[in-house]
Amino acid sequence: MKRSLSAVILAAGMGTRMRSSVPKVLHRVNGIPMLRYVVQTVQELSPERVVVVVGKKTEAQIKDALKDVDVRFALQQEPLGTADALLSAKKALWGFRGDLLILNGDTPLITSDTLREFIKRHRRAKNILSILSFSAANPTGYGRVIRNSGGMPLMIKEEKDLSPEEKEINEVNSGVYMMDKELLRLVSQIKINPEKGEYYLTDILELSVKRGKKAGVFKIGLEEEFHGINTKEQLRRAEEILRERIIRYWTDRDVMFMNPSATYIHPTVKIGPDTFIYPNTFLEGSTVIGSHCTIYPNVRIKDSTIGNNVEIKDSSVLEDVQVEDNTVVGPFARLRPGAVIKEGARVGNFVEVKASVIGRGSKAQHLSYIGDAVVGSSVNIGAGTITCNYDGKRKHKTIIEDNVFIGSDTQLVAPVKVQRGAFIGAGSTITKDVPPESLALSRVQQTNIKGWVKRKKRG
């Protein structure tokens, strides 16, 4: 039978080196708190439980940042080191038997493929303890893996405790461990490190070797995956690594970028082939973009679905909306939650759409607000048209049926319905329903007073 797996993520450290009032593990990488990456990666392994160890000071903020994910929290009373942090998870692991995967909360770039491989090797070797290591181009700051002359791992030594020769070692601890839960008993025997006054989880290797427990260190995965974040400089580097990783992934899938270093894509976003993305674009959350689209500069798209062959022109903001095939949006369009732009429609310059459907082939090209409306197909909405959907207390609906023409600068005072094929003269304020195929006009007749200017000047 397969052994069960639970994960413990250590996230209770003070993050002093970050020099910030924000808890270290909540600093954002590509717009998402780093701890969320670790949690998500671990969840891809379908563990029985995921325990996040938090500290007193940061508990509330971390719980809030993870409120939508299925994890348990454990409280480390004082930040007494990584061994103490792990032991704080004991209660949350009560009743669990099997393997523990332990990770630091400040290494957000680890991939689930690497973790899977690590778990496989741990189990194949029938180890009680395994540690995931990597070769660091610059090992400074990481714990070094000390091996004997035969290559057997003996211990991990932290930076402060290294001799000058040991500082040359570039095989370092990634902060990822696998252990039989039973080994927690040995973890509780780890002694305080006199240099730092903390209990180092890394000491578990030496202790296990000494007690004859089967322990191993596996060097797998790429260095960039284990990039740990302790400082703002390391945070910036993580941004870079993640951005490059995401861009590479989409380039391999035939998405094109004019300047990838200024393109920001959440790991959760999906993009179709032959889509071209200009710089300074932000694609966020659950956004899905089809193929053959062009996303122009300064666009932000969040939690939205964009069809195929769509143009999103410069400086548009789309949030929680649906844009169908062959449409053009922007420049300077604002699509707010619940906007649905049907096939072939156009929403142009300075147009705001909220909780409304814009039907097939319809156009709202200039300076309009369309809220709580249902617009049919082949409708023309003139410049400056406003749906007056709010009476100060409640929102009301505007219905515009197929083939309607709305002249410029029209106010549609909701609730109101403009029926099929009707025509509204420019500058009208529409307060009553308009029957099909009729003209609605509601403006004062123009008067021209001849010679008025001349008379005024003389006067």
Is 47 a residue that touches ligand UD1 (CB under 6 A)? no
Active site residue 396: no
Is 108 a residue that touches ligand UD1 (CB under 6 A)? no
Binding partner selected for residue 290 from ligand UD1, Ca ion, none, CB under the kind-specific 5 to 8 Å limit: none
* 129-135/49-55 β-pairing: unpaired
Is 200 a residue that touches ligand UD1 (CB under 6 A)? yes
CA-closest candidate to residue 400, choices 390, 412, 391: 412
Radius of gyration of the chain (CA): 31
Give the nearest distance from C-beta 191 to Ca ion in angstroms.
21
The region of 173-181, 246-254, 269-277, 360-368 touching ligand UD1 under the rule CB under 6 A is 173-181
Q: What residues between 254 and 273 interact with ligand UD1 by CB under 6 A?
A: none
Is 228 a residue that touches Ca ion (CB under 5 A)? yes
According to DSSP, the residues that pair with 219 across neighbouring strands are 133
Supply angle C-alpha 126, 128, 130, rounded to 5: 90
Residue with Cβ nearer ligand UD1 (84 or 180) = 84
How many Cβ atoms sit within 10 Å of the Cβ of residue 78?
Answer: 10
CB 59 within 8 A of CB 46: no
Q: Which of 27, 122, 292, 366 is catalytic?
A: 366
Structural element, H or E, at residue 144? strand 144-147
Q: Please give the DSSP secondary-structure letter assigned to residue 278.
A: -
Give the nearest distance from C-beta 75 to ligand UD1 in angstroms.
10
Q: Please give the DSSP secondary-structure letter assigned to residue 167.
A: G
Q: What residues between 16 and 45 interact with ligand UD1 by CB under 6 A?
A: 25
CA-closest candidate to residue 442, choices 457, 431, 455: 431
Binding partner selected for residue 143 from Ca ion, ligand UD1, none, CB under the kind-specific 5 to 8 Å limit: ligand UD1
Is 85 a residue that touches ligand UD1 (CB under 6 A)? yes
Q: Is 72 helix (H, G, I), strand (E, B) or coil?
A: strand
Residue with Cβ nearer ligand UD1 (13 or 359) = 13
The region of 10-18, 66-74, 287-295, 393-401 touching ligand UD1 under the rule CB under 6 A is 10-18
Is 153 a residue that touches ligand UD1 (CB under 6 A)? no
Residue with Cβ nearer Ca ion (161 or 409) = 161
Give the nearest distance from C-beta 182 to ligand UD1 in angstroms.
21
Q: Is 298 helix (H, G, I), strand (E, B) or coil?
A: coil
**Alpha-carbon span 195 to 359, nearest angstrom:** 69
